[in-house]
Amino acid sequence: MVTVSKKQDNKNRLLDIGVALLTEKGYHGTGIKEILDAANIPKGSFYNYFPSKEVYGAEVIRHYIAPFIRQIEDDLANHDGDALAALETYFQRLIDDLQENQYQGGCLLGNLLGEIGDTSDKCRSALAEAVNDYAVTLATGLALAQRQGALRRDLSSREMADLLVNAWQGALLRMKIEHSIQPLEQCVDSLLQGYFRSGN
């Protein structure tokens, strides 16, 4: 009998592999057998961990966004109190990673929004929750930068966060088409160092 800790380890491994495979191949392009083979978990065991592929997809989405949110929080907590610099550091790290990976993958959320955002209720809800949680976390940092006088006050931090998320997703698509980080750098610079800055 699989112990609770072993079962959780296997579940986490399935979620980690799901992030990689769904980012690379999409939801419909990734089969359950492929997931189990990659995780080295016996065939037929999938439903011991997830009641359906749709539920699995929703959990992969939540699993995917969690470390990004933690990273923003860590950068804000460990950047000598300069919230704007912390956000710039966070996005520059993403840009560097995407360039190192030769522009592959992009963002799982953006990929799945286009693929299954309007066909799977469970995944759509998970995507909406993930995008909202991400925007809320960015808004926390932007609000702190506003209080520090770095960013304009005539827009709410949530308005700026939503605009940043939307622009970043579009920049990721252009990055994949053009094989260039220029759209990403332009997005971050135009907003964090341009439109969002106090005095604009």
β partners of residue 197? 151
Helices 157-178 + 121-147 axis angle, to 10? 120
pLDDT of 200 above 80: no
CB 171 within 8 A of CB 183: yes
User: 122-180: per-residue pLDDT in tens?
Assistant: 999 999 999 999 999 999 999 999 999 999 999 999 999 999 999 999 999 999 999 99
- Lowest average pLDDT, out of 1-10, 24-33, 39-48, 96-105, goes to 1-10
- For residue 97, pLDDT over 60 is answered with yes
Angle among Cα 82, 158, 178 to the nearest 5 degrees reads 80
**For residue 32, is pLDDT > 60?**
yes
- How many other CB atoms are found less than 10 A from the CB of residue 11? 18
* Domains delineated in the chain: 4-195 (1.10.357.10)
pTM: 0.91
Tell me what the mean pLDDT of segment 40-66 comes to.
93
Chain length of the chain: 200
Note the pLDDT of residue 179: 93
Give the number of C-alpha atoms closer than 13 A to the C-alpha of residue 175, restricted to the C-beta side.
28
**Torsions phi, psi of 119, nearest 5?**
-120, -15
DSSP the chain: ---HHHHHHHHHHHHHHHHHHHHHH-STT--HHHHHHHHT--TT-HHHH-S-HHHHHHHHHHHHHHHHHHHHHHHHHTSTT-HHHHHHHHHHHHHHHHHHTTT-S--HHHHHHHHHTTT-HHHHHHHHHHHHHHHHHHHHHHHHHHHTTSB-SSS-HHHHHHHHHHHHHHHHHHHHHHT-SHHHHHHHHHIIIIITBTT-
What's the confidence (pLDDT) of residue 103?
A: 83
pLDDT of 182 reads 97
Instruction: Read off the pLDDT band of 118 (50, 70, 90).
Output: confident
pLDDT band at 1 (very low <50, low <70, confident <90, very high): very low
| Position 101 confidence tier, pLDDT thresholds 50, 70, 90 | confident
**Rounded CA separation 126/128 (Å):** 5
pLDDT band at 199; cut points 50, 70, 90: confident
Average pLDDT over residues 6-29: 92
